[in-house]
Amino acid sequence: MRQAFRASILHCLADPGEASISSAVEFFDDGLLVVEDGKVLDAGDATTLLAHSHDLAVTEYPGKIIVPGFVDCHVHFPQLDIIASYGEQLLDWLNRYAYPAEMRFADKTHAEEVAAVFLDELLKNGTTTALVFGTVHAHSADAILAAAQARGMRLIAGKVMMDINCPTELRDDPVSAYTDSRALIERWHGTDRLGYAITPRFALTSSEEQLAAAGRLAGEYPDVWIHTHLAENKAEVEQIARQFPGSRSYLDVYDRFELLRARSVFAHSLHLDEEDRQCMSAKGGAVAFCPTSNLFLGSGLFDLRAMRAAGVRCGLGTDVGGGTSLSMLRTAGEAYKVLHLQDQAMPATRALYLATLGAAQVLYLDDKIGNFAAGKEADFVVLDPAGSTLSERRCSVAASAEESLFALTMLADDRHIAATYVAGEVYVSK
């Protein structure tokens, strides 16, 4: 079954911050995206493509912009209900808000209810793929992966491993963390569009035995993801140095336990030195830049220039509930401000890259998603510049689609997502 979608089309072929803009970004003012069996067949100028193909069912989106589905490189579904909780930095925020919320996930029904609402919120915001933290409970991973399967989404998730320095109700142990994660890998990894991530919360809440078990499991499943937090908060970094006096740095702790490799994704990574960045790059690890969280929790400013100069893969993450929005557009807007404070430029096309192709590269999924290259999975978003009266006024005087996209990174919310398509199927439409 062949379908086509007509609107402006914008997607990235490379990082516009590094390649020349003409080779990094492709734009069709009157574009056509042709989809067959859930995959991209072609993307190009509508008049040209329509002249060569007949019998195409064309869905028209006049005045709108089609971009690839957004990829959220780091988010916690169990923290949906504590988004925007007042007043603390990381370690106090975990104790006061995150851990109590996660304790409620001992109830499987609660986990299933939140998973469904969470994924519907992602899709409403144009996010079609995410790397997701569960809770310590194995059924939290079942809940989110089953909900993603029901929606046809490409999604990666894992049960959290944590056995020290946290409430006793949320502790597993090295053996159960290993066996539960292994069973989840066997059940879910590679099923439909789903993947599994071995998920030690952070080095602070795992014993050395547990980190070793996580590393052993990673060795047994080389194409499984590894997902954790790194160097987010100064007090956290100091505590890590006390807990692991034999390690050169926070990253070195993960490296020593064989948790740094291709498909390892480290949220935040704010307080690193050049040796860490070089090591991350050489070993194929990747980083989730979570600006709304870093500002909200008072954690620090992400140094994108240094990270990319070292060759580290970078993508955007919302980090809800430490982050304050599930919208990748809003997240891109905050990334712009974080970089602006450090004299680093972030044109809208680069923001789009970090939310799509760059994020797909973080997840080593850029052969499947991230842009409209022929053969990729047809996950895409129809952006509506007129989603609010204010954005409509602003975008009506924009000289280019890039200018409208930039305005949307500052002004947009889920009203600006006219439709989200998952493998060619419309999910949210209004």
| Residue at 288: amino acid letter | A
**Candidate list 135, 269, 293, 327; residue touching ligand GUN; CB under 6 A:** 293
Residue with the CB atom nearest ligand GUN in the bound state: 322
Choices 90-98, 124-132, 382-390, 415-423 (CB under 6 A): range interacting with ligand GUN: 90-98
Q: Considering the complex, what minimum distance in angstroms separates the CB of residue 44 from Zn ion?
A: 39
Cα of 367 vs its chain's centroid, Å: 16
- Start-end of H helices in 284-343: 291-296, 304-309, 328-340
Closest distance of CB 76 from ligand GUN, Å: 5
Nearest CB to ligand GUN, comparing residues 129 and 205: 205
Residue 232 contacts which entry, ligand GUN, Zn ion, none (Cβ below 5-8 A, type-dependent): ligand GUN
- Residue 190 is given by DSSP the state T
Q: Judged by CB under 6 A, does residue 24 bind ligand GUN?
A: no
Q: Which is nearer to Zn ion, 163 or 319 (CB)?
A: 319
Kindly state whether residue 322 participates in binding ligand GUN, applying the rule CB under 6 A: yes
Cα-based angle 199, 355, 344 (whole degrees, multiple of 5): 105
* Residue 112 near residue 77, CB atoms below 8 Å: no
Q: Are 243 and 250 in contact (CB under 8 A)?
A: no
Q: Which does 310 bind (CB under 5 to 8 A by kind): ligand GUN, Zn ion, none?
A: none
Query: With CB under 6 A, what is the number of residues at the site for ligand GUN?
Result: 11
Q: Work out whether 379 is an interface residue with ligand GUN (CB under 6 A).
A: no
User: Is 120:326 a contact under the CB 8 Å cutoff?
Assistant: no
Q: Pick from 172, 255, 319, 414 the residue near ligand GUN by CB under 6 A.
A: 319
Q: Which is nearer to ligand GUN, 98 or 338 (CB)?
A: 98
Q: Which residues lie across from 43 on neighbouring strands?
A: 33
Q: Is 102 in the site for Zn ion (CB under 5 A)?
A: no
Residue whose pair of structure tokens reads 């789903």 in the numeric block: 194
Residues in contact with Zn ion, counted by CB under 5 A, come to a total of 2
Contact between 76 and ligand GUN by CB under 6 A: the answer reads: yes
The footprint of ligand GUN on residues 93-122 (CB under 6 A) is 94, 98
In whole angstroms, the minimum distance from the beta carbon of 357 to ligand GUN comes to 25
**174 and 210 in contact (C-beta within 8 Å)?**
yes
What part of residues 202-231 is at the interface with ligand GUN (CB under 6 A)? Answer: 202, 229
CA-wise closest residue to 336 among 321, 363, 355: 355
CA angle at 303 for the pair 302 and 304, rounded to the nearest 5°: 105
Question: Closer CB to Zn ion, residue 276 or residue 319?
Answer: 319
Alpha carbons 292 and 219: distance in angstroms, whole number:
33
Q: Judged by CB under 5 A, does residue 180 bind Zn ion? A: no
Q: Which is nearer to ligand GUN, 28 or 302 (CB)?
A: 302
Q: How far is the CB of 360 from Zn ion (least distance, A)?
A: 20
In sequence order, the β-bridge partners of residue 120 are none
DSSP 193: T
Q: E strands, 23-139, where? A: 25-36, 39-45, 57-68, 70-76, 127-133
**Residue 319 binds Zn ion (CB under 5 A):** yes
Say how far apart CA 237 and CA 300 lie, in whole Å.
12
- Closest alpha carbon to 234 in 277, 270, 275, 273: 270
Q: Does 201 bind ligand GUN (CB under 6 A)?
A: yes
**Interface with Zn ion by CB under 5 A: which residues?**
267, 319
Interface positions with ligand GUN (CB under 6 A)? 76, 90, 94, 98, 201-202, 229, 232, 293, 319, 322
